[in-house]
Every structure is written in C-alpha cells, then in structure tokens.
Amino acid sequence: MTAYMVPLVQWVAATHVSAYLRTVTWLWPFCETLHFIGLAVLVGIAGFFDLRLLGFWKRVPVSACKEFMPWAMVGFALNLASGLVFLTMFPAQYAYSQAWWLKMLFLFIAGANALFFETAMGARMVALGPGEDSPVVFKAIGAVSLVSWFFVLYFGRMLPYLGDAY
Amino acid sequence: MDSFLAWLQNLPVFVTIAESASIWGYPTVLMLHTVGLGWLVGLNTVVNLRLLGVGRRVPFETFESLFPMMWWGFWLNLGTGVILFCLDAGHKAHQWVFWAKIVAIALALLTLQRERNYLFRSGEFPGGDFVPAKAKRYAWASLTLWWIATATGRLTAYIG
C-alpha cells in the first residue's frame, strides 16, 4: 500500500504550497482548533440524529430531526478543510500510517451509510408515523453511524500513538 | 504549591500511566476526553441551533432530555481531565491557556444550568415558534463559551 504512495507523497511535500504552509507557525495549532470544534458540531448533530433513528424521541418526526444535518455538514466541511491543510503540510505522516487509513475507512463507511439513508430511505422516513417504533433498518443505520463516527474519532485522536503522526 | 504539584505528578499511579507504552494508558484517556468533548459540546450545539432557528419542527420538550446526556459528557471529561492534569501537573498549572480553559468551562456550565432552568423550569420560556431574545442570548453565550473552552483546551498542546 505505502509503496504506491511514495511518489504522490513526495510530490505533495515538494509543492510550493506545502513548503509555504510549513512556514506559517500559527497555522497548525489554528487548524487543530478548528478540527476539534468541527468534530464536536459534526458528532453532536449526527449523534442526535442517530439516537432518533435508534428510537429516541419517537413522537418527533425523523424528517424534523434531519433539519439539523446541514450544520453537521458545516462541521464536516470545517474538518475536511483543516484536514487537507494537515495532509498538504505533512503528507508522509498520514499516507504511511495504518491508523490514518483506518480513519479514512470508517469515514467512508459513515458517508456511505448516510448516503444510503438519504437516497433509499426517504419514503420510509415520511411514512413513519409519530410514536411508531423505528424500523429495524433505521436502527441499523443509526447504530452503524454512531459506531463508525466513534472510530473516525478514535483513529484520528490515536494517530500519534498508533503511528508517529502528531 | 510547586512541591504539591510535583508530589501529585510523581504519585505511582500517574507515573505508571504517563510512562506506560500501552495504548490503554495515556492515549486512551486522551481519546476519551475527546469523546466527552464531542458529545457535550455537540449536543449543546443542537439545542442552541434550535433556539437560533434551525429545526423548528422539533418541539422544545425534546431537548430537555439532551441536558442529562450533556452531563454524561461532562463527567467523563472531568474524570479524564483530572487524570490528564495530574500526569502533567507541574506544567499545566503554569499554563495560562489551561486556566483560560477552566474559566471558560466554569462560565459555560453556569450558562448551561441557567439556560436549562430558563427553558424548562422557570415557566418563562413560551416554547412555541417564537423564541424570545433572552433565549437567543443564552444560545450565543453558550455556543461561544464552549467554543472558547474547546479552543483553549486544544491549544494547551501548543501554547506555554
């Protein structure tokens, strides 16, 4: 895996952008701060929605709880942007880290799961009456989402300890 | 004071955690501190976004049950936070950004309790579509204080 990455990593690290960003001393702590605020916004809103899918607040329509999701996307966008800065500055510490690839895997699962709900569950969401128990598929989607976001956070925070990123 | 901090930091339990090469030591405590942060600050964001006009179809009563859940996040972070402080007491106690974080959390918790009382216990809050300016002030104060707490917490790794 990592052998294929070498030319790409070397190319990114050698770009002017990467070299310039590494000279901006406040940028790293600044992006780390944004990354954690974005994390909270994303995980909190997604978690709230997942709990609804699991059967919490049954009288509240699922579609009403979903109205918070654009703000979860704002949190995600914040983390994508700050994450790309990290990756551009020091590509090697991520591309060669197993923990980082596991983080990407769980990010992919969380994304695919959300996309599946978005594209295939719309009719069932509207049909679900207030107070009715969540269908099993909703509970499964909620559980997969909670678990996969947990592991995104886990492998992200563990990057310095499961590998040598900082 | 410094001798107390040194004594604290040198207690065998904290030395063991600090020096352990195991992933279940310091890294796990730090990771759990991040889980608690995401849960507490994230759910707090949901409630305050509702006060600021997002998700109007979700009735306010729904959010009463989010407050105890936020406290789970807080207790997790108090526990892990005390451990993290003790591991590095001599350094942390002299970091201004650490004390800024503690002050921000104290103010944020005070705001959280007052906001909760106002929304669910005072009988003052109408709970319908109209959100009074007072509720919006609580929302902004709460969001801002938790963002400051998160930012200063993260910056303890970089400043001082």
pLDDT digits (tens, 9 = 90+) for A19-64: 999 999 999 999 999 999 999 999 999 999 999 999 999 999 999 9
Please compute the mean of the pLDDT values over residues B95-108 and round it to a whole number.
Answer: 97
What pLDDT does B65 receive?
Answer: 93
Pick the closest to residue A125 from A77, A58, A61, A81 (CA basis). Answer: A61
**The pLDDT of residue A166 is above 70:** no
**How many beta carbons lie within 10 A of that of residue A59, not counting itself?**
11
Say if residue A128's pLDDT is above 80. Answer: yes
* Residue of chain A whose alpha carbon sits nearest to that of B24: A161
Percent of chain B, pLDDT > 70?
Answer: 100
CA distance A67 to A51: 15
For residue B63, give the amino acid letter.
Answer: F
- A130-139, B48-57, B70-79: least confidently modelled range: A130-139
B147 interface with A at CB cutoff 8 Å: yes
User: Which residues in chain A are closer than 8 Å to B64, comparing Cβ atoms?
Assistant: none
Which 72-131 residues of chain B touch chain A by CB within 8 A?
none
Mean pLDDT confidence for A2-9: 85
Residue A98 has pLDDT above 70, yes or no: yes
Mean confidence (pLDDT) of chain A? 93
What ipTM, to 2 d.p.? 0.93
What is the arithmetic mean of pLDDT over A68-78? 97
Question: Does position A2 have pLDDT exceeding 80, yes or no?
Answer: no
Percent of chain A at pLDDT > 70 equals 98
For residue A3, the model assigns a pLDDT of: 77
Tracing tokens 């204080």 back to the chain, one arrives at B145
| Chains A, B: CB pairs < 8 Å | 108
CA angle at A140 for the pair B73 and A53, rounded to the nearest 5°: 60
- Residue A135 tokens read as 């269908």
Which of B26, B57, B159 minimises the CB distance to A61?
A: B57
Tell me which chain B residue has its CA closest to the CA of residue A66.
B55
Residue A1: per-residue pLDDT: 61
The two three-digit tokens of residue A103, written as one number: 């983080």
Q: Is pLDDT above 80 for A164?
A: no
B154:A57 CB<8 A: no
- Lowest mean pLDDT, pick from A88-92, A125-129, B25-29, B78-82: A125-129
What's the whole-number mean pLDDT along residues B61-84?
95
Q: Which residue in B46, B150, B158 is closest to A48 by CB distance? A: B46
Q: B42–A61: do the CB atoms touch at under 8 Å?
A: no
- Cβ–Cβ contact B31 with A under 8 A: yes
Inter-chain residue contact A44 with B44, CB threshold 8 Å: yes
Helix, strand, coil fractions of chain B, as percent rounded to 5? 75, 0, 25
Q: Which residues contact B100 (CB under 8 A, 6 or more apart)?
A: B148, B152
